[in-house]
Amino acid sequence: MIYRRHGRTGEKLSIVGFGGMRFKNIDDRETCVNMVLEAAKSGINYFDTAPKYFGIKSEQTFGDAFKELKKQNIQFYSSTKTFETKEPEIRREIDSQLKRLGLDTIDFYHMWSVTSLDNWKKRKREGILNTFVKLKEEGLIRHICVSSHLIGDDIKELLEENVFEAVLFGYSAYNFSVRQKAFDAIKAYDIGCVVMNPLGGGIIPQNPEIFDFIKKDKNQSIVEAALHFIFAHEKITTALVGFQDLHEIHEAVHAVETYRDIEDSLLEKIKSDATESFGTLCTGCQYCNNCPVEIPIPKFMEAYNHKILYKNDHAISDRLKWHWDITKEIAAICTECGQCEQVCTQHIPIIDRLKDIASM
């Protein structure tokens, strides 16, 4: 395993982290706990969860696994998040999280999913920063972090507060173009940098032929190539992979073992080979999956990815019909309330895409 200094936190994190949002069967607790233990034994030391991953089941799973890791004296870092902004709610939440995780302190605690500067300003007005600082002083958390989906260099406004010690943000071989300005802003600060969705939320491995340009040779697996792309950025401490099963853990650990420094010129060539359209793909994060008229937005947006990737309308129709078993007419019931676009982590023009699908 390779370890990197996590900005000014000074901690040494494994360059692959375990994201707890994609377990194949969260109700099979024993298998999921064993996955965490296997990852830790392979040298992965960063474990990230959240209070709404599978309800509270992801945190509970890590809680069980952490208990075992402590028994076996295996060192690990815990990471979780909160959407709460006011002190009483945050305190209630962290109290439950500490119990679920079986910990006295959480190593990396995140202000979760900042999607716009307005959203950030609201949280700040409600006192989130002061509360996080108090939690740290009281020893309930060790490092104050933020997970951001801001684009452009909006993130500068948060980093200028000089409170955040680490950032969790999306960056991958397909969306780096829309994330580059944020990444450049982060690079200017001595803060830790963890990347979520390094495999494009599954899009890269599901479309290996589209992402062929990131492979160093035809024998390299697409997962290895996508992870090597992330590892090549020295500023990134950890690529957080949402593991579904043991095979995926082994695959990621293998990618670390085969990693050799990639020259900047090669990295630039890879980037110049990518198309602009890759930045507008849905990652399937499900944040928008709360439509008041019950449109299954992630399914439609995933189908729309196929239009972008395959550059033809039939790709959407086929995907809707054969993969999702939904009809395009459902897209037409959108009331344009805008709720989904406000929370979309990729800033996708969901309403326009639904109109496009409905009119096909």
Q: Single out the residue of 246, 248, 227, 251 nearest to residue 238, CA to CA.
A: 227
116 binds ligand SF4 (CB under 6 A): no
- Residue 12, phi then psi, degrees to nearest 5: -110, 110
Question: 110: Cβ–Cβ under 8 A, 6 or more apart, which residues?
Answer: 79, 80, 81, 82, 145, 146, 147, 168
Cβ–Cβ under 8 Å, residues 176 and 274: yes
Applying CB under 6 A, the span of 32-40, 43-51, 99-107, 335-343 interacting with ligand SF4 comes to 335-343
Residue type, 14: S
Size of the site for ligand SF4 (CB under 6 A): 28
- Contact region with ligand SF4 (CB under 6 A), list: 155-163, 179-187, 203-211, 347-355: 347-355
Q: Could you give the string, one character per residue 288-327, with x where binding to ligand SF4 holds by CB under 6 A and - elsewhere?
A: x--xxx-x-xx--x--------------------------
Residues 6+ apart with CB under 8 A from 263: none
Burial class (CB in 10 A: 0-12, 13-18, 19+), 289: middle
Which range binds ligand SF4 by CB under 6 A, 51-59, 109-117, 137-145, 339-347? 339-347
**Binding residue for ligand SF4 (CB under 6 A) from 184, 212, 336, 352?**
336
Tell which residue, 31, 42, 28, has the closest CA to residue 76.
42
Among 351, 355, 356, 358, binds ligand SF4 (CB under 6 A): 351
Q: Does 226 bind ligand SF4 (CB under 6 A)?
A: no
What's the distance, CA 354 to chain centroid?
A: 25
* Member of 25, 130, 275, 286 binding ligand SF4 (CB under 6 A): 286
Q: Which CA distances in Å does 80 have to 96, 101, 146, 255, 333? A: 12, 10, 10, 25, 36
Q: How far is the CB of 357 from ligand SF4 (least distance, A)?
A: 11
Q: Which is nearer to ligand SF4, 81 or 228 (CB)?
A: 81
Q: Toward ligand SF4, which CB reaches closer, 10 or 338?
A: 338
Instruction: Pick the closer one to ligand SF4 by CB: 260 or 293.
Output: 293
Q: Which residues bind ligand SF4 (CB under 6 A)?
A: 282-288, 291-293, 295, 297-298, 301, 334-340, 344-346, 348, 350-351, 354
